[in-house]
Chains A and B, each alone.
Chain A
């Protein structure tokens, strides 16, 4: 019961935070100077009258109330005025989301099992050469920015060895072999950092758990090392790891600007920055609302997940 109360409280707070963040975003983006209407050889009045029709000349508070009524409550996020002129921002966003999700899902499927396996192996072989090798690779992958190995992967695997296409395929036939093959370089580039991150965390957690007293107890009561590791050590080490995996799920919806650019993934990675620089207000507010909501919901889910993984942690308990 207390958990339900806790969730309700968090949801109410979430609405408050959501509206606050959107208000700040709206005001800040509207405070940015609008691109001048004057263009060489252009009838400036056409631009000014369009802006007037869009309500750009109204006070920011009035514009905000219109946004709340039309977009947030009415679900009409409007038309893109700059980035994809004449097209509905929601439709455009949704059309670009699958490519990002595809690459990120593959990346997660690649990075989570590999990260867990490598981390577990390194922990079990702690301070042996296998552990040192894995730890060194982890440090390299974490230290080097993803675009560096993205370019290296593209050059060696795609250009020199011709194992994969240089760019992701076009079209929306996402579940074809050809498409799968074309996203592999992006998936590896995107996933290497996560693999390293999971490996490092799992190794650290598991190493600590493996030396705990209860592990000694488990062994003394007759469990084999494998049984003790899987049943006791692994489970306990998952408490901080599982929220990390959930975090990866959240990241699925947000694209990587650099990786998408290098491998020609027609996703949402560049939209947020572009919407600000282009002063595409509708696009910016849609993206702000979407990612804010995703972030807030995931925060709650992650918090609740602690209680599920480890029953000793119960949210809302005094």
Chain B
């Protein structure tokens, strides 16, 4: 019996093998030649294999020959990503990876283009026929606009040839409808704040979104400052998550006067603080003079009640005709920043969008922009294939308004998910990818290749330290006796860490495409976007650098450096002698202050997101070796040790705030390259800083404005750059109100404040500049860039607009074959 069963089982298994083999063998053998895997399924334009396989098999057009009767030549750009986009709905997208699709299926009211000399950028009308017109005067007594106001109501005239990919015309009313969908109070879309949280603040947007709710708004400043500035104590609410509990009504917030006791499950019944109230937390921990007052700007706030049934008619987005769109703003905005704020649009295809909405148990979700079927394009390309974590294909959208004979030669953009750098390089050398981002290990081979392009990004990577005494004391107690961490509170110690860091060597060892960084802002940060002026090129900004690196007394006639530029060129950031000197000073100071005993060992825990990244592994090794050697011959010799937490994952950025580690490296902020005035908030506002030690509401900074010294807190100076009116004090104590927003007409004073803030941030030595953010990539032979230099906003080819090709896809395949399937890029 068993024998028969066994025979059957073997027969079935063999049959299965044969069937699978036969099924596999039944495929199109012509695809055999297709070394570039092509999509075999598409939703709306048939088989996208047509593009790749026809050319690859040589059965279609031979490219630019233009012979009658042959198919149009195709030009495919093959790219690779290591993280794939997942949601390219403008209302919901979160990451820059999502914009890998979104950027090409959408357009802006205004778009970046090359300037006439191709060495910079300019903003030009995109979906509009011209720049917006100020029609504020036409709306006096409406939307709270008073006579004499300007730059608050703007009229844009749209092109009359705007269309969706299926040819459906786009009218001004569609933008109004899309704004309504974006601000849907039920949806609470992730990007709803596009219309109220930045410089472009549309009237009524916030009120419409939050209608009928009460919203907690953090104070943003320390509670003492809030009260001193006229804030009312009875309006203060406590965010109960500060204590890890919720309020009695189940929400996160309770009035600071509310003495309703709430059970804290983390504390055993009968123990102290087993029940706490908002009033107790306020009076004991967060209120003025309390031990955690520094946390009050985040955990104390006010509740704003938004009226129910707020009509969308009150929102400042309206269509006057099919091509006239009007925006009403809360605050005046004009010039570059207005156009810049309109370089994207919130447009969605209403019928498709609505069909993607589901609401289950009160939870709204929308899968618009997550697949080919749920995507509609009005940009230069349309999505024709998408397979999650595998590949997406964009093809030229013939209904895009901006197509001309001279632009958008790229017919198809094919992007694959290829995680391994080694695989990407092999694909690139086989002609299957058109660019390859060089890794540290590739640099020796390709650094001088004619095909290697170096690109600098505006952001800077830092070492971030946590000099918070309470946190360090607690961490120190946890690691045992004779282990010290509190020396990090001594500024001289942090200075020593900065001087001991050989940035150039670090870059060479860890990430050779990067260069050393010496300041908060790199050369690529633009302080005057209208003219493209680099922040760092201004004399005042140079002075910050000179001061920070201790060269202030070395510049001038007869001194070591004749000019600031010469002094800056000499900066390496590495001064071992000075580092040793500061290590000794730090030791003496720590001992004198009772922080350190002679037999203590200092242990600094460095955090990294994972144990697999070469950058962090090599970086950690480098830092440990660098600092261990630097203390040789000082009083800290043999006393400085390091440990590593390489399990931080997504919590990497918050690890200093949560006191998990004492040091992070490779951290920083990107974006806002054209707006350093708002970017400074990342370094001064406690919501964004890597540590919460520095109380910028109490730290005072004196800035010389028009020859007079004025003093205010760091956070106040930051806030005024965003247009908030603050109080500044002269040396004699007299006070003035002051405002330095982008529309306050005090551009020069704004710059002076920004420069002073940069200096103040650097001077804390809590964020030590380490390396700039650069990368090197090999460019494929199939195409050409428009410019050799990377231009902010447009890159080297204007998002494919100006990319040109040396070969059609068919010719390219032939060329690669003729090279034996391997291309030489050395």
| Residues of A bordering B, CB below 8 Å | 33, 35-36, 38, 40-50, 53-54, 57-58, 70, 76, 79, 83-88, 92, 95-96, 105-106, 109, 112-113, 151, 154-155, 158-159, 162, 165-173, 175-182, 231, 235, 261-262, 264, 266, 270, 277-279, 311
A158 to chain B, nearest CB (A): 7
Q: Is there a chain A Cβ closer than 8 Å to B443's Cβ?
A: no
A266/B390 in contact, CB under 8 A: yes
Known: A36-B654, A41-B198, A87-B367. A170 touches B427 (CB 8 A): no
Taking a contact as CB atoms closer than 8 A, the residue among B32, B210, B246, B426 that contacts A178 in the complex is: B32
A170/B24 in contact, CB under 8 A: no
CB-CB under 8 A from A154, the residues of chain B are: 422-423, 426
Bound Cα distance A166, B529 (Å): 44
CB-CB under 8 A from A182, the residues of chain B are: 37
B649/A277 in contact, CB under 8 A: yes
B216/A45 in contact, CB under 8 A: yes
CB-CB under 8 A from B252, the residues of chain A are: 48, 57
Taking a contact as CB atoms closer than 8 A, the residue among A49, A58, A170, A266 that contacts B38 in the complex is: A170
A245 to chain B, nearest CB (A): 10
CB-CB under 8 A from B426, the residues of chain A are: 154-155, 158-159, 166
Kindly list the 7 A-B residue pairs having the minimum CB-CB distance in the complex, ordered from nearest.
Answer: A176-B27, A171-B40, A177-B27, A180-B24, A178-B31, A266-B390, A170-B391
A85/B388 in contact, CB under 8 A: no
CB-CB under 8 A from B3, the residues of chain A are: 231, 235
B40/A176 in contact, CB under 8 A: yes
B406 to chain A, nearest CB (A): 32
B27/A175 in contact, CB under 8 A: yes
Known: A166-B430, A175-B27. A50 touches B40 (CB 8 A): no
B32 to chain A, nearest CB (A): 7
CB-CB under 8 A from A96, the residues of chain B are: 388-389
B650/A171 in contact, CB under 8 A: no
CB-CB under 8 A from B416, the residues of chain A are: 167, 170, 264
B32/A109 in contact, CB under 8 A: no
Q: Residue on A with the closest CB to B241?
A: A57
| Residues of B bordering A, CB below 8 Å | 2-3, 6, 13, 16-17, 20, 23-29, 31-32, 34-41, 86-87, 89, 92, 94, 188-190, 192-193, 196-198, 210, 213, 215-218, 246, 250-252, 298, 360-370, 385, 387-391, 416-420, 422-423, 426-427, 429-430, 432, 649-651, 654, 658, 669, 671-672, 678, 681-682, 687-688, 821
Bound Cα distance A46, B16 (Å): 53
B390/A177 in contact, CB under 8 A: no
Bound Cα distance A297, B59 (Å): 52
Q: Residue on B with the closest CB to A277?
A: B649
Q: Residue on B with the closest CB to A150?
A: B420
Q: Residue on A with the closest CB to B213?
A: A49
B89/A177 in contact, CB under 8 A: no
A162/B821 in contact, CB under 8 A: yes
A278/B198 in contact, CB under 8 A: no
A-B contact count (CB 8 A): 203
Bound Cα distance A36, B688 (Å): 11
B732 to chain A, nearest CB (A): 37
Bound Cα distance A220, B606 (Å): 73
- Given A46-B190, A48-B252, A85-B370, 20 more pairs with CB closer than 8 A: A43-B197, A50-B190, A53-B364, A70-B361, A84-B86, A84-B388, A85-B87, A85-B92, A86-B87, A86-B366, A87-B86, A112-B13, A159-B426, A166-B426, A167-B427, A171-B38, A173-B27, A176-B40, A177-B31, A182-B37
Bound Cα distance A88, B13 (Å): 36
Bound Cα distance A109, B15 (Å): 11
CB-CB under 8 A from B422, the residues of chain A are: 151, 154-155
B27/A180 in contact, CB under 8 A: yes
Q: Residue on A with the closest CB to B1?
A: A311
CB-CB under 8 A from A173, the residues of chain B are: 27, 40-41
CB-CB under 8 A from A79, the residues of chain B are: 363, 365
A49 to chain B, nearest CB (A): 5
A176/B28 in contact, CB under 8 A: yes
Q: Residue on A with the closest CB to B193?
A: A43
CB-CB under 8 A from B34, the residues of chain A are: 178
Known: A53-B188, A85-B94. A170 touches B39 (CB 8 A): yes
Q: Residue on B with the closest CB to A76?
A: B360
Taking a contact as CB atoms closer than 8 A, the residue among B13, B26, B215, B419 that contacts A175 in the complex is: B26
Taking a contact as CB atoms closer than 8 A, the residue among B17, B362, B364, B390 that contacts A113 in the complex is: B17
Taking a contact as CB atoms closer than 8 A, the residue among A57, A86, A88, A166 that contacts B89 in the complex is: A86
CB-CB under 8 A from B92, the residues of chain A are: 85-86
What are 8 A-to-B residue pairs whose CB atoms are below 8 Å?
A: A35-B650, A166-B430, A167-B418, A167-B423, A175-B20, A176-B28, A176-B40, A277-B649
CB-CB under 8 A from A181, the residues of chain B are: 32
Bound Cα distance A235, B16 (Å): 22
CB-CB under 8 A from B361, the residues of chain A are: 70
A33/B651 in contact, CB under 8 A: yes
